[in-house]
Amino acid sequence: MKQQVWFITGSSRGLGRALVTAALEAGDHVVATARDPKALAEAFGEYGDGVHPVALDVTRPEAAHEAIEAALARFGRIDVLVNNAGYANVSPIETSDDDDFRAQFETNFWGVYNVTKAALPTLRRQGAGTVVQISSIGGRVGGSPGIASYQAAKFAVDGFSRVLAVETAPFGVRVMVVEPSGFATDWAGSSMTVHPIPDAYDETVGAMNRLVRQSTTGAAGDPRRAAEIIVRTVHRDQVPSHLPLGVNATTMARDYSQHQLAEATAWEEVSRSADFGEPYPAPLPPEGTAE
């Protein structure tokens, strides 16, 4: 396989850390970024010159540009950009702290925007590159009580990535959105703040919080396997536009797509009737159709 140069955000733990290791084990070079690069140097020191730790706060556009320049100064190119940095806090929408909601969005969406935009001139000049967006299966199906900011940002990343793929395809740039389900990382551990949950939301937000954070079995997903799958996939000539990872992610993606198709079919006549020249009015489908 051709040796690749990876640029990975959020490399200090979880899937980001596993990705750094998997890429290095595959013989690639990695620019590993995090707010504290000292932790990265300690974690990956055994790989010597193959890994280059760089400080990066993804919410600062100027920091993103500086990190990209540092990567180019070290390795001369960037073949794979991975936007992995992200986190989620828990609270109902009604009682969410506005500043906290916005702060999550700053990392989970604007961080992706900042780093991607900083890297695009390089990818365009190279005429090649792969952008990997670490999203969530929740960014496709949504509806997880308590993490509205996180899921809204992941939906935004998906929309952003669809446009990015079309705009950059003529330059030889590929875009892949990764959609994991639950993995054994710190995402729902110390990285997550759970704000007070009012009694009125106990059966929704409270129940979801207990399921995610208090499960005795733990998450089913193996970060090491996920990272190795991503590395193997990136080394292919063709990559999928979206890659669900995990049994739950696969099942949820298929079920959601099937429901969308059934609903669009059931409402097709009504939807088409909004255009001039189409039969109008169209009968509404029976109650309970495609629910």
Between the alpha carbon of residue 183 and those of residues 62, 149, 203, 249, the distances in Å are 32, 20, 24, 11
Mind telling me the catalytic residues? Answer: 135, 150, 154
The Cα–Cα gap between 95 and 124 comes to 44
Residue type, 202: D
At CA 141, angle to CA 86 and CA 211, rounded to 5? 70
Tokens of 33: 């970024």
H helices present in 127-147, as ranges: 138-141
> Facing residues of 133 across strands?
83, 177
- Nearby residues of 221 by Cβ (< 8 Å), 6 or more positions away: 180, 181, 182, 183, 184, 245, 246
Helices 111-126 and 61-75: crossing angle in degrees, nearest 10, is 40
The reply to whether omega before 281 is within 30° of 0 (cis) is yes
Instruction: Name the strand (E) or helix (H) holding 82.
Output: strand 80-83
- Nearby residues of 85 by Cβ (< 8 Å), 6 or more positions away: 9, 10, 16, 33, 58, 107, 111
